[in-house]
Amino acid sequence: MALRFLLALSLLHSVWALWPIPATLSTGNTALVLSSNFYFDVAVQNAPADLHNAVQQAQYYLENDKLGCLVVGRGANDSAVLTNAKSLPSLKLTLSSGATVNPIATESVKPLGMRSEEYVLTVPADGSPATLSANSMLGLYRGLTTFGQMWYYYGGKTYTLEAPISITDVPAYVLTVDLDLTPRGTIADLQRTLDAMSWVKINTFHWHITDNQSFPLEVAQFSQLATNGAYSADETYSESNVQNLVQYAAERGIDVIMEIDTPGHTAIIGTTYPGYVTCMDASPWSTYTNEPLAGQLRFALPEVVNFITALLSSVAKTLPLYYFSTGGDELNTNCYINDTLTQQQLKSANTTLAGALATFTNSTHSALIAEGKTPVVWEEQDLDLIRRCSCCGQLGISHRSRTSNYFYLVRVLSFFSIHPFLIPII
């Protein structure tokens, strides 16, 4: 039985190469080949440059991927039915009546709930042109991606055996995220990852850009952080690096959520501001932090609150992004129990560690909101905020809770070219 099942799987054709699987999909059993003169007909008035670039990229993939069917013979058994198959001359791209023409990059970074990624794709079996329609350039981009996944190549022909094909697609999740921790990943690594994300319609790149071991982000107002905190002078991200990567992502239908994790995961800041970090290099590290190196911000101190608030504001104002993460995860309170400066400040302010954390978070988040950003935190801090929901309600704060089958999946850029793990998030 198992052998029969595997044999059956080996005979499946192109619709099962679609990823993610479209919301609705119907197929036939007619062979259809791409014309040798196949072209994309962009019937969108004043179509933006990034849509034309996406079309050129789709044309390139169709002409150069030459993906053989994953069966014995790589599709040799299909050659007979391809001899007299109809040819598909073109794919016509249209925008729904009344839709606004915005670049893909503009649509990609809209707030959640305001992005239109749906599309309708029809590929006839009779040799007439295929059609792709959507309510936005982003929807057309998603449809182009699906169209490129339909085809196999054998003997000089790009083909499908399942025409006619009809797809109406809309994301199953409002937010799908690839999380990358990149203290020393190169821009080329990140661009390659973004390319792979676009192929499977992942719409958000959570960029965990700093951590205990490295602070590679160059910030003009705080230049010593990267000078002292990066692995090397060549392993940093300049402001232009970041802005160019954000634009690169947006043109591929991907929003970026940058994370500067605080108040934990900040040991590296102690190399520049030793008075702002406690438990620096404490041993055993496992007593004072959830992962090496030991060291966390003295977030109860007003000067530390002011410093981090100014740092986040400086970074946020350079980015055309709606969301910005302040982390907030894996804070080890053991680090503060015997820290004299923290305990003195708590006593002086007549507050608790939790109260000091609330003050710290309110300050940093207020600064982000002032820059037009929506703050994002990890679940530990989110749960604590929900417990203080009366305060949140008075402030008019809304909560979006994200769920995943996996708690935390991280790719090491030095070892993998494409992220093997993807985190679906609602």
* DSSP states of 166-191: EEEE--SSSEEEEEEE-SS--HHHHH
What is the pLDDT confidence band of residue 70, given thresholds at 50, 70 and 90?
Answer: confident
Q: Is 62 helix (H, G, I), strand (E, B) or coil?
A: helix
pLDDT at residue 397 tops 50: no
Tell me: the pLDDT tens digits for 321-365? 999 999 998 999 999 999 999 999 999 999 999 999 999 999 999
pLDDT at residue 410 greater than cutoff 70: no
Alpha-carbon span 361 to 339, nearest angstrom: 20
Residues near 198 by beta carbon (within 8 Å), at least 6 away in sequence: 145, 252, 253, 254
Q: What letter does residue 152 receive in the DSSP assignment?
A: E
36: helix, strand or coil: strand
pLDDT at 32: 98
Asked whether residue 391 carries a pLDDT value surpassing 60, the answer given is no
How do beta strands 255-262 and 157-169 pair?
Answer: unpaired
What is the distance between the alpha carbons of residues 253 and 204, in angstroms, rounded to a whole number?
Answer: 8
Residue 97 has pLDDT above 60, yes or no: yes
Q: What percent of the chain has pLDDT over 90?
A: 75
pTM recorded for the entire structure = 0.87
Mean pLDDT of 129-134: 99
Say whether pLDDT at 407 is over 70.
no
CB 330 within 8 A of CB 283: no
Rounded to a whole number of angstroms, the distance between the first and last alpha carbons of the chain is: 37
Selected residue with higher pLDDT from 119 and 406: 119
Place of tokens 């966390």: 296
Q: What is the mean pLDDT of residues 269-285?
A: 96
Phi/psi at 318 (5° precision): -90, -5
Q: Give the three-state DSSP class for 223.
A: coil
Peptide bond into 20 cis (omega under 30): yes
pLDDT at 220 (0 to 100): 97
Task: Quickly state the pLDDT bin for 16 (edges 50, 70, 90).
Answer: low
Nearest alpha carbon to residue 419 among 218, 244, 105, 204: 204
pLDDT at 406: 46
Tell me if residue 254 falls in helix, strand or coil: coil
Domain residue limits, the chain: 17-169, 175-425
- The residues pairing with 180 across neighbouring beta strands, listed in sequence order, are 207, 411
The mean pLDDT of 294-306, rounded to a whole number, is 98
8 A C-beta contact, residue 146 and residue 18: yes
Q: How does the average pLDDT of the chain come out, rounded?
A: 87
Characterise 122 by phi-psi region: left (phi > 0), alpha (psi -120 to 50), beta (else): beta
Helices 340-349 and 353-370 cross at an angle (nearest 10°) of 80
- pLDDT computed for residue 383 by the predictor: 54
Contacting residues for 265 by C-beta, under 8 A, at least 6 apart? 210, 211, 212, 291, 327, 329, 330
Across the range 182-199, mean pLDDT stands at: 90
- Identify the band that residue 183 occupies on the pLDDT scale cut at 50, 70 and 90: low
- At residue 75, the pLDDT reads 82
* 17-169 CATH fold: Chitobiase; domain 2 (3.30.379)
CA distance readout (Å), 261 to 79, 196, 208, 297, 341: 56, 26, 8, 11, 22
Lowest mean pLDDT among 61-75, 183-197, 346-360, 394-408: 394-408
Closest CA to 322 of 104, 117, 50, 107: 107
pLDDT band at 44; cut points 50, 70, 90: very high
At residue 226, the 3 state secondary structure works out as: helix
> CB-based contacts of 54: which residues, under 8 Å, 6+ apart?
104, 140, 141, 144, 251
The 10 Å Cβ neighbour count of residue 260 is 24
Encode 77-92: b = buried (16+ Cβ within 10 Å), e = exposed.
Answer: ebeeebeebbebbbbb
Q: Which two tokens stand for residue 65?
A: 């991927």
- Whole-number pLDDT of residue 423: 36
Question: For the residues 145-163, what does the mean pLDDT come to?
Answer: 96
Q: Which of 301, 300, 277 is nearest to 289 (CA)?
A: 277
pLDDT band at 417 (very low <50, low <70, confident <90, very high): very low
User: Helices then strands (H, E): number in the chain?
Assistant: 15, 14
The residue whose two tokens read 């109809």 is 86
The residue that leads in pLDDT, 7 or 151, is 151
Question: Which of 144, 87, 150 has its CA nearest to residue 120?
Answer: 144
Supply the residues annotated as catalytic: 330
- For residue 387, what pLDDT is reported? 42
Classify the C-alpha dihedral 296-298-300-306 as positive or negative: negative
Does CATH place domain 175-425 in 3.20.20.80? Answer: yes
Tell me: pLDDT of 228 over 80.
yes
Is the pLDDT at 390 greater than 90? The verdict is no
Question: What b/e sequence results for 210-241 when a residue is b if at least 16 CB atoms lie within 10 Å of its CB, and e otherwise?
Answer: bbbbbbbbbbeebeebbeebbeeeeebbeeeb
User: What average pLDDT does this structure show over 84-97?
Assistant: 98
